[in-house]
Chain A
Amino acid sequence: MNPLQATVNGCPTDLGEIRAHTNALDWLRDQGLTGCKEGCAEGECGACAILVARPTADGGTQWTSVNACLVPAASLDGQEVVTAEGLGTPDALHPVQEEMAQRGGSQCGYCTPGFVCSMAAEFYRKERCDGAGHPAGGNPAGGHPAVRQNGNHAQGRHTPAERDGRAVTDHEHGPNGFDLHALSGNLCRCTGYRPIRDAAYALGAPAEDDVLAARRDQPAPTPAATRVSRADGEFVRPADLPEALGILADHPDAVLVAGSTDWGVEVNILGRRAPLTLGIDRLEELRTFSVSDDVIELGAALSLSEIETRLAGRVPLLDQLFPQFASRLIRNGATIGGNLGTGSPIGDTPPVLLALEASVVLASSGGEREVPLSDYFTGYRQSVRRPGELVRTIRIPLPLSGVSAFHKIAKRRFDDISSVAVGFAIQVEGGVVTRARIGLGGVAATPVRALATEAALEGRAWTAESVREAATVMRGEGTPMDDHRASSTYRSAMLGTALLKLHAENATPQEVGA
């Protein structure tokens, strides 16, 4: 077997003596690329952000920002990586670096290379550059025009992005189409962010001779089958799904890794050293995407960002979820199958997928079965998924209900973990609730459906009075706990107000088919 090799800043680089648990951050730093910083080692601060070349649906390449601390170094085999050092030099700064440096975007400078990489990913995002369509992330909070007149810094000297023919300039989108959510996974303790935002909003389009921009029109590197075997553990990336299922049948305890956003935390923070780690992130069989008249199928190894792009607004409830799900850096790695596979009670997709009445297709070497998500979770981080099984796809039935919302209760609006999460999908016809599906997270050992509340709503008029009664029922759902995120009383109170808030914002809902 050839030595493991990645292309880093354009140079083929042997991965050398990495171990199964070596993360990309540590490996890059060992190569002397110390611009990549460890701030938290759990994907929360973005100081280790790098760019990787990832495939787009149309066969091109997207420069995608990810947290290097969460990525197994072994998974870089055959991949292309760019770090802050590779974007520019002090004598020849990249446009992103130039704006950041000139506008006071760095103070201590420690978070800066990571910001630069996240910003560069958005700089190169084709939809931004083309000034077209759906800005990734959307803007659930609604538009509030607020462009700071910042002294001598020119405003709007670049072509603004447009949505529906109008310039998108709200407090989360720049006049150049820059989506601030691209930086939601990067923390800065010094600047207060304003100069970083101004740097981002001042960016133009990549120059004609920009090598990384040109790279986008070529295919992304194909995933390499990879194996790293050391005394303290093995990392295997199989060539296809049958091989993966075969290995899983022989080693049911293997740790499955797709986006590795959980793997990184367990390895870095909890010191987990699994004997066998199975990388399934690039398996084409797990990266399917289809929409038919009655079902949407989402491959389990699609990242949340990929789903967001490909759905392009088809599922409004998911569109509300995406910008609130962790950060762009995480969504670029984290997969929808992984979020269900870990079975966490505070994952953000389950409440939404429960409300959408999604089901899960589980595959093993023995075949496949489909399980409604409402039957999937069995206990704290437990599910009906058997040893030897993995999640292959998620199915969302169509049509969708007319009123939908995702309420996330957390301390911080960007990139936080829910203390309570609620997914609503409610159909109102002739002023009467004909169908109510409500998924809850954070209020029990598993994500749950609010069945009593659903029953209290269905068949009743969609009025303030009946909603108030149902809200009382909802307040009693689940078994909320006290922890550092929230008190149980607050969690119950939030269950009690969620429906009231939904009704206040949708008192006269659009009735599908009406």
Chain B
Amino acid sequence: MSALSERPANPVVGETVPHESAALHVTGRALYTDDLVARTRDLLHGYPVQAPHAHARVTRLDTAPALAVPGVVRVLTAEDVPGVNDAGIKHDEPLFPSEVMYFGHAVCWVLGETLEAARLGALAVEVDYEPLPSVVTVREAIEAGSFQGAQPTMERGDVEAGLARAEHVFSGEFEFAGQEHFYLETHASIAQVDENGQVFVQSSTQHPTETQDIVAHVLGLHAHEVTVQCLRMGGGFGGKEMQPHGYAAVAALGATLTGRPVRVRLNRTQDITMTGKRHGFHATWRVGFDAEGRLQALDATLTSDGGWSLDLSEPVLARALCHIDNAYWIPDVRVNGRISKTNKTSQTAFRGFGGPQGMLVLEDILGRCAPLLGIDPADLRRRNFYTEGQATPYGQPVRHPDRAVAAWDQVVQTGDVDSRRREIAAFNAAHQHTKRALAITPVKFGISFNLTAFNQAGALVHVYKDGSVLINHGGTEMGQGLHTKMLQVAATTLGVPLHFVRLAPTRTDKVPNTSATAASSGADLNGGAVKNACEQIRERLAQVAGGRLGVPPADVRFEGGRVRGLAHDTDEIRWADLVTQAYFQRVQLWAAGFYRTEGLHWDSTVFRGEPFKYFAYGVAAAEVEVDGFTGAYRTRRVDIVHDVGDSLSPLVDLGQIEGGFVQGAGWLTLEDLRWDESDRPTRGRLATQAASTYKLPSFSEMPEEFNVALLEKAHEEGAVYGSKAVGEPPLMLAFSVREALRQAAAAFGPPGTSVDLASPATPEAVFWAVEQARARAAEHGHVAEGFPGMVPPQPNGDVPRYHPRSERPPAEQHALSAEV
């Protein structure tokens, strides 16, 4: 057990506690950024002018009519930007564009005394456009050669040789949709300027430091002139990692130009039509199996739908490549990646960050090929699991592969999988119009930012004279329970009851240079930093206590708000008394903590290294029932065993697993981004741009029976108090639902039927899969058989070099000069 992972006696971590803000949530008292409007005087409201073209040049922009609208105060345009006119860090996201790059792109922003005045002002702005040819779908982009960013290749062994020696070679194609984050709280920022020109931005952001950087570079300021605070978010899911910056910058620009607080809050229509989403992907693939169904080789080319700007598409693609293996050993691998440039929103981070997309490609392959191999899909998956000593295609040894096995066995056992499969077979034999199926799928997910530099965090811990504790750290709270876990970590390290500790909102003037709260790493990184700060304080207090108790400082123990010597018969000091005493001895009672993840390395140019601290594992078994008349279906039961290490906070972790699973099921079955691909004037418009047309999972999608267990004996040496990250990995447990739907559809045909299933697998998509099973039973979907098969397109020699997340340049800031 490492010093980082070891828990003291009776730790507060591991206790089941409600979310730290639960009482505020349920009473409506919890404040979100836009709730500050009612508390802010003289506030101005921003409203965008959105372009009605997928691609066009702005030939005239006349703001005068807007200024004639009562209540309109100002219109912000490119001319107003004192710094860099860019909402991102790659110089491809002009904040006020002269070229419209997607339908709904904001060309300028109107500030009004009321939201209604700003809205009417935006309607009055006159803009002329010269429409330009547009690329809307990823297939169009492939055909047109419209790509952006680098095109990496992940390669191990000799894929041609692997395929040549394989008993069975299949090839095919797969295209699947992205996903809208649909955090219930849309993007919101409120900016104000103080008497000294200091800009204070409250923003719903997962990455306050980067919001600060972008606001600074747009305004032409240094970072120390901008402070960003995030109270909490009403959901993020990756959608507030890169996307908030531009809106915060618009608010900040408005505030500096008017001297008044400015609010920019997107309504749902604006949020869904303007902000980036999960990338949809296109994949072409060849796969080889030996006679027993063991994977021999995988040759694939993945093309992500990047939208109009690069955003986080490169690191998303890197993670997709790094997860295409999921939990399976594949000796010979060649996977190429590329990012299409399309006239759509700028696709971005979304829970899993490309990992789900990479894994989906292989799970789809296994689901389609299992019937062709004559092997039960569950057996095919289980047979290909990694074993100890094997490494991923990018060269990282797979540690603890036995945990995937343990989770699998536990799901099979506690989920009664064998007997239920017999019941399902009997049910299907007795029912002509309704079929059931059960599918079981694993997850292996790498934890850490691919980019090594991001794996650092800071914290600031104050102990006040009365013994009360205030902690601050660089992570943001979006509902994932990070703050709850950090309170538990602090209480554990200091040995005080949980209620001694409070947590203040995330601010860039408290903890600087933070990483995004992303990549599931929030608790690992910030927990390490909080623990480090608390340890510094505890060690100082141990000196004081040692003197008082007459024991060596190393023998002082802190527990439950009491401090005593190692031997049980020593005196006890109350925590608050010790703190007071330490103050009078002039002992520093606060500390800045820091943490960086050790042992990571990653060379993006050859796509090799050990980018992940560890892997998180999980297994899910899902049972569905499909109606053959309509394709409608229900999820009857789901059993999950998931690996969270030694849980820091079981209720929080359970919530992440269940919520991630349902969100993943939403992506794969229900949530339907429909872009206008026609040649009508509305080409490029998102047709499903509201909650009424873009349907999220509701109560009707919750599994009727839902059993979740945390994997036992799962201590993780490399993370704070033996825990593991939990934010993203459970999302991919939802593959079990999709594969169960495929198997249920296939059950309408004869045994051995392979069916293609569109993603999302809406009732309509399932109906067509059922029809395929019924009508084309003798054929095998669209999978081709035989070597060499359909060879995926290979990059030519002059593709751009890869710049992964680890190599992205810092946001442009004008560096402080020594000369004044």
Q: Which residues of A contact B (CB under 8 A)?
A: 29-42, 44-45, 47, 83-85, 87-90, 93, 96-98, 100-102, 104-113, 116, 141, 144, 146, 148, 171, 180, 183-184, 186-195, 197, 265, 269, 271, 407, 409-417, 419, 483-487, 490, 493-494, 497-498, 500-501, 504
Contacts and interface: CB of A to CB of B under 8 A. Distances in A.
Contacts of A111: 184, 234
A96 B23 CA distance: 11
Interface in B198-253: 232-237
Given A113-B27, A504-B629, 18 more contacts: A37-B185, A42-B692, A89-B27, A97-B27, A104-B651, A104-B652, A107-B479, A108-B185, A109-B479, A113-B28, A189-B184, A190-B655, A191-B659, A192-B663, A197-B702, A484-B693, A493-B771, A501-B433
A484 B672 contact: yes
A191 B708 CA distance: 13
Given A93-B26, A108-B184, A45 B691 contact: yes
B695 interface: yes
Nearest to A100: B26
Contacts of A97: 23, 26-27
A384 to B, nearest CB: 28
A228 to B, nearest CB: 15
7 contacts: A40-B692, A45-B691, A105-B26, A186-B698, A189-B183, A189-B663, A192-B662
A280 B38 CA distance: 32
B696 interface: yes
B11 to A, nearest CB: 20
A89 B267 CA distance: 29
Contacts of B26: 84, 88, 93, 96-98, 100-101, 105-106, 109, 112-113, 116
Contacts of A93: 23, 26-27
Contacts of B663: 189, 192
A47 B702 contact: no
Contact of B691 (A35, A40, A501): A40
Dominant SS at the A interface? loop
Interface of B: 18-19, 21-32, 35, 37-39, 119, 123, 181-186, 232-237, 267-269, 433, 478-481, 627, 629-630, 632, 634, 636-637, 651-652, 654-655, 658-663, 670, 672, 674, 687-688, 690-693, 695-702, 704-707, 762-764, 767-768, 771
B488 to A, nearest CB: 15
B268 A109 contact: no
B629 A497 contact: yes
Contacts of B701: 412-413
B280 to A, nearest CB: 16
B232 A414 contact: no
A494 B767 CA distance: 10
Residue among B658, B699, B700 facing the most chain A CB atoms (10 A cut-off):
B699
Contact of B21 (A36, A109, A413, A497): A109
A141 B651 CA distance: 32
A341 B688 CA distance: 25
B309 to A, nearest CB: 25
B184 A47 contact: yes
Contact of A180 (B24, B632, B699): B699
Residue among B37, B182, B692 facing the most chain A CB atoms (10 A cut-off):
B692
Contact of A187 (B236, B651, B659, B696): B696
A111 B30 CA distance: 11
Contacts of A417: 692-693
Residue among B26, B269, B480, B660 facing the most chain A CB atoms (10 A cut-off):
B26
A87 B26 CA distance: 9
Residue among A93, A113, A190, A494 facing the most chain B CB atoms (10 A cut-off):
A190
A188 B699 CA distance: 9
A26 to B, nearest CB: 9
B478 A108 contact: yes
Contacts of A105: 26
A109 B700 contact: no
A487 B702 CA distance: 26
Contacts of A116: 26, 28
Residue among B29, B236, B687 facing the most chain A CB atoms (10 A cut-off):
B29
A501 B630 contact: yes
A35 B27 contact: yes
> What 5 A-B pairs come out closest when comparing CB atoms?
A35-B28, A108-B479, A110-B234, A109-B25, A192-B662
Contacts of A83: 28
B234 A108 contact: yes
B24 A109 contact: yes
Dominant SS at the B interface? loop
A486 B765 CA distance: 10
Given A192-B659, A504-B433, A485 B693 contact: yes
A195 B655 contact: yes
Contacts of B659: 107, 189-192
A440 to B, nearest CB: 15
Given A39-B184, A113-B28, A194 B706 contact: yes
B674 A484 contact: yes
Contact of A411 (B39, B181, B478, B670): B670
Contacts of B479: 106-110, 190
B655 A148 contact: no
A416 B236 CA distance: 25
Contacts of A271: 119, 123
Contact of A109 (B186, B232, B267): B232
Contacts of B661: 192
Contacts of B481: 107
Contacts of A107: 19, 479-481, 655, 659
A146 B37 CA distance: 45
Contacts of A180: 699
Nearest to B21: A109
B699 A85 contact: no
Contacts of B35: 29, 34
B22 A414 contact: no
Nearest to B37: A29
B691 A42 contact: yes
Given A193-B699, A195-B655, A101 B23 contact: yes
Contacts of A497: 629-630
B136 to A, nearest CB: 15
B764 A487 contact: yes
Given A34-B38, A39-B184, A269 B19 contact: no
Contact of A38 (B267, B702, B771): B267
Residue among B32, B691, B768 facing the most chain A CB atoms (10 A cut-off):
B691
Contact of A90 (B24, B236, B480, B697): B24
A113 B24 CA distance: 10
Nearest to B688: A484
Contacts of A112: 25-26, 28
Contacts of A269: 269, 690
A101 B695 contact: no
A489 B575 CA distance: 72
B268 A187 contact: no
A116 B702 CA distance: 19
A40 B690 contact: yes
Contacts of B39: 32
Given A108-B233, A108-B478, A411-B672, A187 B692 contact: no
B178 to A, nearest CB: 15
B24 to A, nearest CB: 6
Residue among B24, B627, B655 facing the most chain A CB atoms (10 A cut-off):
B655
A32 B38 contact: yes
Contacts of A411: 670, 672, 695, 762-764
A123 B6 CA distance: 45
B699 A414 contact: yes
A193 B661 CA distance: 11
A61 to B, nearest CB: 22
A227 to B, nearest CB: 21
A348 B697 CA distance: 21
A29 B39 CA distance: 10
A148 B700 CA distance: 16
B477 to A, nearest CB: 8
